[in-house]
Amino acid sequence: MSNIAIVYYSQGGATAMIAHSVAQGVNDAGAHAQLLSIEPHQFIDGQWHDDALLMRLAAADAIIFGAPAFQGGIAAPFKAFADATTGRWRTHDWRNKVAGGFSFSYRSEDDKRDTLDFFAALAAQHGMPWADADEADIAPRASGTQRGQRGIQRHPGHFPAVTAPGADVDAAYALDPADVIAGKQYGRHVAALVARLAGEVLESPAVLARRAREAAERRL
């Protein structure tokens, strides 16, 4: 069973909700998701420190990054975490692990795109192949879907889709339910990619439960 880590920073709750939906998608696909949150207590004199979390990331088969987009770029706490991974770059701990990412923005998709580009660049620095969103999952809800006063239209690749304007950055109440669905789809997509690269065949918990029930019935 693949072990997929989701390391994220959330200020107001929306990014955390997406992280949990991604984890659910990973688990639904038959892999194991572990949620790792970047927290204030991990900062000492302005620098991020958590060796135990870094060890868990080193043991994972894939790492998915998550953070809200602030003022057109990556949130500072996540940037501090990324800076602290330099030692892992020297020892190639993350090399060849599948990487992915998601972001939240209540402004334009350009803010979020810069954050996703940061994740992709971080992955490239560590020698990690990038798992983009599966357009087959996103495209069906992109056709003509608009939301909010600005009439924002969804397009394949805008994952998660841009949310409506709100008073607070990363506010949970501003999260579109469609973004939660997209998170589950993305989690399943990353889990399936990791399985294919490892030569595994993933099955959902429902299928595994059915097979166990059938096996038990045969023994009766």
Q: Are 61 and 30 in contact (CB under 8 A)?
A: no
Q: Tell me the pLDDT tens digit for each residue of 121-142.
A: 999 999 999 998 765 554 444 4
**Kind and range of the H or E run holding 90:** helix 86-90
CB 121, CB 63: distance < 8 Å: no
pLDDT score of 157 = 44
| pTM of the entire predicted model | 0.78
- When divided into structural domains, the chain yields a total of 1
Q: What is the pLDDT of residues 140-168, one digit of tens each?
A: 444 344 444 333 344 444 454 333 344 45
Residue 181: its pLDDT value, please?
Answer: 87
Terminal CA-to-CA distance of the chain, rounded, Å? Answer: 29
Q: What type of residue sits at position 102? A: F
Q: Is the peptide bond before 68 cis (omega within 30 degrees of 0)?
A: no
Residue pair 27/5 in contact (Cβ under 8 Å)? The answer is no
Q: Report CA torsion sign: 49, 52, 53, 58.
A: positive
Query: With bands split at pLDDT 50, 70 and 90, how would you rate the model's confidence at 104?
Result: confident
Measure the CA–CA gap between 172 and 158, rounded to whole angstroms.
Answer: 19
Q: Which domain holds residue 85?
A: 3-219
Q: List Cα–Cα distances, 154 to 79, 102, 135, 140, in angstroms.
A: 28, 15, 12, 10
Closest by alpha carbon to 119, among 93, 92, 99? 99
Residue percentage of the chain with pLDDT more than 70: 73
> Where residue 115 sits, what CATH number does that domain have?
3.40.50.360
Q: For residues 104 and 205, which has the higher predicted lDDT (pLDDT)?
A: 104
Q: Quick one: pLDDT band at residue 72, thresholds 50, 70, 90?
A: confident
The pLDDT-based confidence of 71 (bands split at 50, 70, 90) is confident
The 10s digit of each residue's pLDDT in 2-40 is: 999 999 999 888 899 999 999 999 999 999 999 999 999
Place of tokens 């620095």: 125
pLDDT at 174 (0 to 100): 67
Per the model's pLDDT, the better-predicted residue between 13 and 214 turns out to be 13
- Compute the mean pLDDT over every residue in the chain, rounded to the nearest whole number: 80
